[in-house]
Amino acid sequence: MTVIVSARRRIRWTSWILGSGSVLAAAAFAWPFFVAAVPADAQVAVPIVAFALIPALIVALTLTLDREMYTAKTVALLGVLAAVGAAVRIAGAGMGGVEAVFVLLILAGRVYGARFGFLLGLLTIAVSSLLWGGFGPWTPFQMFACGWVGAGAGLLPHWPKATPTAPRTQPASTAQAPSQPAYGEPTQRWHLPRLNAQSRLTTGTRWRGSLEIVLLAVYGVVSSYLFGLMMNLWFWPFAVGSGTGISYTAGADAGQNLASFALYSLVTSTLTWDTVRAITTVVGISLVGPAVLAALRRARLGPR
Amino acid sequence: MFRLRLAPLLAAIVLAVGFVLLRVVYRVVFGGAGAGTGPVLLELPRLRLDGPFSHITLLGPITLVGLGNAALSALPVAAIIVFFGLLNAVINVQSLFARGAGRGPLRAISRSLVIAWATFPALLESVRHVRVARSLRGERSIASLLVPIFEQTIERALALAASMETRGFAATRVVTGVCEEPVVLRDVRLNFGAAPDKTGWHLDELNVTLKPGTLTVIVGATGSGKTSLLHSMSGLFQHFYDGVQTGTVNIGGADRASTPPRDTAGFVGLIAQNVRLGFTAETVHDEIGFALAVRNVTPSIVHARILQVAARLKIEHLVDRPIERLSAGEASLVAIAAAIVNHPILLLVDEPLADLDRAARDRVCTVLGQLAHEADVCVVIAEHNTKEFASIADAWLQIRGSQLHEVSAGEMQALSTAETLTPTPVAPRDFGTVPAVLLASIRRLSVRHRTSLVVDDVSFKVQAGELIALRGSNGAGKSSLLRAMALPTAADTVTVAGHDVHSLKRRTRRQAVALVPENFDDLLFAITVAEECRRANRTLAGADTAQTFAQLLGFDGVADAAHLLQRHPRDLSSGERLCLVIAIQLAARPALLLIDEPTRGLDLTSRALVSDALLKAASHSAAVIFATHDDDFARGLATRILRMEAGRLEVPIEVHS
């Protein structure tokens, strides 16, 4: 009994660390807006602090998650999926920057939970940067942003799977219980309806399946644009420099900076890269989503 | 740690130049390029935005000094980009990560990174295979490419996880084994509980005691549960595949029900069915040492043990080789070395001979026999190639129905000869009435793979109604010949029903010739069998693939196969899956159907099913050619046998009178 209690406490601690770590990281991303709040002679240090904070947070969060991920199945899945993600990312860069990696992050995050999704995001960027040699100060920011995309997919709502018509027994109904112990995430332990030789695909389950795809596609669009905004935010002062209308001005009020940023973001990525990414993600999720979700669920991760 | 790679530097330079240009563009568009007193290059009108954007002015005059200032101001950041490009070009960051794998506070993450790295060659390989497979199926959708690759990736992940688990990855407590009783099964019953995908399978009343220094072979049909029985000893059955066990399973004194495989890695070794899928490291050295490295053994001791084990198996020359450059036989020996590096009491081996040629089989058998009889290990092997073990096995266990029976060596001999001598009974087909009609002709077909000629100037003719067996040893070029016939790369080499296959379009090509490749799973990408059939029906109006599938399986109609149609294709047995792929390929009504190795890994019942299916397929298309190295299967079924040797076709031997 004590073991379970301590495990739960650890999970709660982990959640707390993950949550506050993410908030801190978000603040570091948004450093241009915090400069004004800092005394004038400390303002120069703000970007440096932000640049140091992100890698430090990555180390802290992976250290926190590492013990939890320390099972053969999780490590193996994390490794091969990161390889697939990196391959997709590099192949995409070859096809004119078509970013399809979100499809994998979202589907895997959905099935294996927020923590797995977060780590998969980190690792995918790390592996692809290793592979084509693109490491730099920007890598930690990309890692974090992709980690959030995967984590967000894991936090999307799960609806109860109570279909009285389907004679699915224990695994199906207990899987969605919100208070799944020990592993922290709502671990997906249900058997897909197709595995059940007796029960046909009822219209209910089919409808639910497409609802899930729609949900993930909508999330894909939202996360594509948010990802673009986040990545623009920290880089904006460096990208534009000073002396233009949309430049970041440390002394100006927040409203003016926000307007400048909005215009910068719109012309830089929102209308172009982010839209392409959103379309790719929606197309990808609707084309391969059902089959990939099924494949991931066949290899379900259980609690230790 | 250091090496020179120019690509990252070049990419960084391109990026840096792009960055400078972009900043100049920003200045021009957002009214910042008009600084200085120099001559105005371009007088653009100023546009003032309003609302919240009232502080922003677009365009305006452009001066040379303004442009120069813009470019200059971008230089620091551009320099940083180039600097990191340089670092990436010189430093091999990946080797830094590999060092941390398996130990320290980031052991899980760093091991994942190593696995990701080791996965790339396999990933490229599977992309190549699947691309061929989808062109064979005549599909062009993204799903038909991505889904099979993804399925293979997941399969690899699970095999990897199982292999890591049995070698002690993430072990929390170390159990020491008792040498005297490696395996004791008492009143054991195994099943998959309520899991709906393995309906009804169970083994009852298992009472087995195995002694050290013995070699036991478990035999039985595919799907009878050889592997599950083996894994009830390795612990994967209970702790990895969600199997349910009642009774007592004692392995080296440890209770299996409560002891996961990772805790018994010190005295139980496992060699999985497809050893390549379970390789966790990039070099043979690290692969053999994995079980020790995850236990935090000092690297120098690990190294010494690796050399010792390699010397024992006489594979010292392989130690420094990258893992992907091993032949099938070498890979098996490396897997054995990796499994015995801990000096196990019990060694479990799952179908070690499946993909090996004769020389490699002899080598593996000798090694396993030595381990049992000289090193006193208790060796348990699940296998349906029984002939090879006749001289070294001490006991035979046969699964019949849901029971396990001990069979004496004599009975086994009788059994295996019966297996090989009674070919599947096939009603001889009457060819007397069919006039010889030329269906296809293969003219001077050659296939070059890198530098070697794998198919060398092959020519032959196929008459309508023929069922041809293509025979030959491993690497004789059978598969390459079949693939070249289905997807010819040169004009006028393959002519079917008067058409040059090379010049045919995707769709019509499949009406001339269709191939079921050896790795037929790559053709499947839907989530139900029914959907798979529906997709196949699109290839030709009026095709009813579900009907064909049911027929191939020996059902009377689709209704009888309804329970299969709702399943996921990958949940079917391999015989059923092969029939599904044959049905899919028959949907285009090909004149010539080619099937590569239809009997690989199948037991007698499934072989009967497949040979029956081939006969039915022959009635759906005008002729069938299948490659096999199964003598009896070929002789019982074919109307003609073609032999291949080193890429060349030997003089055909007529079988029918």
Could you give the ipTM of this predicted complex?
Answer: 0.78
How many other CB atoms are there within 10 angstroms of residue B595's CB atom?
A: 27
Domain assignment present for residue B192? The answer is no
pLDDT tens digits along B458-476: 888 888 878 888 887 766 7
Q: What does the pLDDT look like over B519-572, one tens digit per residue?
A: 888 888 888 888 888 888 887 777 788 888 888 777 777 888 788 888 888 877
Question: Is the confidence at residue B344, as pLDDT, over 80?
Answer: yes
Structure tokens at A14: 């982990």
**Cβ atoms within 10 Å, residue B57:** 16
| Structural domain boundaries, residue B407 | 211-240+258-421
Chain B nearest CA to A239, separation (Å): 7
> Is pLDDT above 90 for A218?
yes
The pLDDT value given to residue B225: 80
Q: Do A80 and B116 touch (CB under 8 A)?
A: yes
Looking at the partner chain, which of B74, B87, B527 has a beta carbon nearest the beta carbon of A194? B527
* Beta-carbon separation of A66 and B157 below 8 A: no
CB-CB neighbors (< 8 A) of A288 in chain B: 142-143, 146-147, 150
Out of B55, B153, B566, closest to residue A84 by CB: B153
Residue B221 has φ and ψ, to the nearest 5°, of -70, 160
B243 compared with B302, residue with greater pLDDT: B302
CB atoms within 10 A of CB A174: 12
Structure confidence at residue B304 (pLDDT): 92
Helices (H), B487-638: 506-512, 529-537, 545-552, 562-565, 574-586, 604-620, 631-637
Number of domains observed in the structure of chain B: 4
State the average pLDDT for chain B.
80
**What pLDDT score was predicted for residue A304?**
34
Give me the sign of the Cα torsion angle A127, A128, A133, A139.
negative
What Cα–Cα distance (Å) separates residue B414 from each residue in B33, B110, B336, B386?
Answer: 93, 53, 30, 11
Task: Assess whether B82 and B108 both reside in one domain.
Answer: no
Asked which of B21-30, B311-320, B418-427 is least confident by mean pLDDT, the reply is B418-427
Within-domain flag for B449? yes
CB B511 within 8 Å of CB B561: no
A38 to chain B, minimum CA–CA distance in Å?
Answer: 24
What's the domain count of chain A? 1
Would you call A295 and B571 a contact, using CB atoms and an 8 Å cutoff?
A: no
Nearest to B153 among A67, A80, A201 (CB): A80
Query: How far off is chain B from A191, nearest CA to CA, in Å?
Result: 8
Q: Enumerate residues 6+ apart whose C-beta is below 8 A from B50.
A: none
Task: Report yes or no on B188 lying in a domain.
Answer: no
> In the structure encoding, which two tokens stand for residue A146, read together?
């992709």
Position A164 pLDDT exceeds 50: no
The answer to whether B48 contacts chain A (CB < 8 Å) is no
Q: Is residue B219 part of a domain?
A: yes
Q: Could you tell me if B459 and B573 lie in one domain?
A: yes
Q: Cβ of B71 under 8 Å from any chain A Cβ?
A: no
User: Among residues B35, B59, B91, which one ends one of the domains?
Assistant: B91
Query: Cβ B26–A246 below 8 Å, yes or no?
Result: yes
Interface residue of B26, B92, B145, B290 to substitute, partner A, most A CBs within 10 Å: B26
Same domain assignment for residues B530 and B581: yes
Going by DSSP bridges, is the β-strand pair B183-191/B244-251 parallel, antiparallel, or unpaired? antiparallel
Residue A304 within a domain: no
Q: For position B195, what pLDDT does the model report?
A: 54
* Per-residue confidence band for B227, with pLDDT thresholds at 50, 70 and 90: confident
Counting one residue from chain A and one from chain B, the pairs whose CB atoms sit within 8 A come to 248
Note whether B416 and B530 are same-domain residues.
Answer: no
| Tens digit of each residue's pLDDT (9 = 90 or more) over A86-96 | 888 888 775 65
Looking at CA atoms only, how far is residue A259 from chain B in angstroms?
6
pLDDT-derived band at B95 (thresholds 50, 70, 90) equals: low
Q: What is the reported pLDDT for B655? A: 52
Cβ–Cβ contact A95 with B under 8 A? no
CB neighbours of residue B164 within 10 Å: 26
Indicate yes or no: CB of B30 within 8 angstroms of CB of A62: no
**B153 with A81: Cβ contact below 8 A:** yes
The distance of A56 to chain B (nearest Cα, Å) reads 14
Which CATH number characterizes residue B402's domain? 3.40.50.300
| Domain co-membership, B451 together with B390 | no
Residue B352 domain flag: yes
* Structural domain contains residue A23: yes
**For residue A292, what is the nearest residue in chain B, using CA coordinates?**
B147
Distance CA A264, CA B536 (A): 49
Give the number of other CB atoms < 10 A from CB of residue B428.
8
Is A92's Cβ below 8 Å from some Cβ in B?
Answer: no
- pLDDT in the model for residue A108: 92
Note whether residue B528 is domain-resident: yes
List all residues of chain B from 188 to 247 with a beta carbon under 8 Å from chain A. Answer: 194-197, 199, 240, 242
Residues in B 535-564 with any Cβ partner in A closer than 8 A: 563
Domain ends where: B31, B60, B91? B91
Q: Is A169 on the interface with B (CB under 8 A)?
A: yes
Average pLDDT of span A290-299:
85
Cα separation values, A274 from A110, A232, A246, B394, B516, Å: 21, 11, 20, 67, 42
CB contact under 8 A, B196 and A197: yes
Q: pLDDT tens for residues B571-580?
A: 777 778 888 8
Average pLDDT taken over every residue of chain A? 74
Percent of chain B beyond pLDDT 70?
88
Nearest-Cα residue of chain A relative to residue B278 = A76
Interface contact flag, B107 A66, Cβ < 8 Å: yes
Last residue of a domain, one of B365, B395, B421: B421
Predicted structure pTM score: 0.79
Mark out the alpha helices in A133-202 (DSSP H runs). Answer: 138-155, 170-175
Flag if B147 and A244 touch (Cβ within 8 Å): no
Using a CB-CB cut-off of 8 Å, the residues of chain B touching A69 are 108-109, 112
Domain presence at residue B431: no
* Mean pLDDT, range B611-629, rounded to an integer: 79
Question: From B120, which residue of chain A is nearest by alpha-carbon distance?
Answer: A83
pLDDT at B417: 55
Lowest mean pLDDT among A152-161, B124-133, B146-155, B305-314: A152-161
B405 touches chain A (CB under 8 A): no
Tell me, yes or no, whether B130 and B262 share the same domain: no
In this prediction, residues B311-319 reach a mean pLDDT of 87
pLDDT score for A239? 72
Chain B contact for A105 (CB, 8 A cutoff): no
B427: left (phi over 0), alpha (psi -120 to 50) or beta: beta
Q: In this structure, how many other beta carbons lie within 10 angstroms of the beta carbon of residue B315?
A: 20
Q: Are residues B125 and B66 in the same domain?
A: no
Cβ of residue A94 closer than 8 Å to a chain B Cβ: no
Q: Give the minimum alpha-carbon distance from B29 to chain A in angstroms, rounded to a whole number.
A: 8
Determine the average pLDDT of the residues in B315-341. 86
Interface test with B, best of A75, A168, A292 (most B CBs within 10 A): A75
pLDDT confidence of residue A194: 37
pLDDT exceeds 80 at position B364: yes
**How far does the CA of residue B533 sit from the closest CA of chain A (Å)?**
16
CA distance, residue A132 to nearest chain B CA (Å): 6
Mean pLDDT confidence for B107-118: 78
- Collapsing DSSP to helix, strand or coil, B250 comes out as strand
User: Mind listing the pLDDT tens digit for each residue in A170-217?
Assistant: 333 333 333 333 333 333 333 333 334 334 455 666 777 788 899 999
3-class DSSP state of A92: helix
Range of the domain at A289: 2-298
Instruction: Check whether residue B405 and residue B445 sit in a common domain.
Output: no
Is B184 an 8 Å CB contact of chain A?
no
Task: Say whether both B449 and B356 belong to one domain.
Answer: no
| Cβ atoms of B296 and B174 closer than 8 Å | no
**By CA distance, what is A285's nearest residue in B?**
B143
Q: Enter the DSSP assignment of B219.
A: E
Q: Which of A44-58, B147-161, B433-447 has the lowest mean pLDDT?
A: B433-447
Domain membership flag for residue B351: yes
* B488 and B393 assigned to the same domain: no
pLDDT at A181: 36
8 Å CB contact of B117 and A127: yes
B528 touching chain A per CB within 8 A: yes
CA nearest to A247 within chain B: B30
Q: Is B308 helix (H, G, I), strand (E, B) or coil?
A: helix
B370 and B230 share a domain?
A: yes
DSSP codes joined into one string, B221-249: -TTSSHHHHHHHHHSHHHHTS--EEEEEE
Residues B551 and B597 in one domain: yes
CA distance B333 to B337: 6
In a domain, A303, yes or no: no
Instruction: Please give, rounded to a whole number of angstroms, the shortest distance from the CA of B357 to a CA of chain A.
Output: 30
Residue range B347-351: average pLDDT? 89
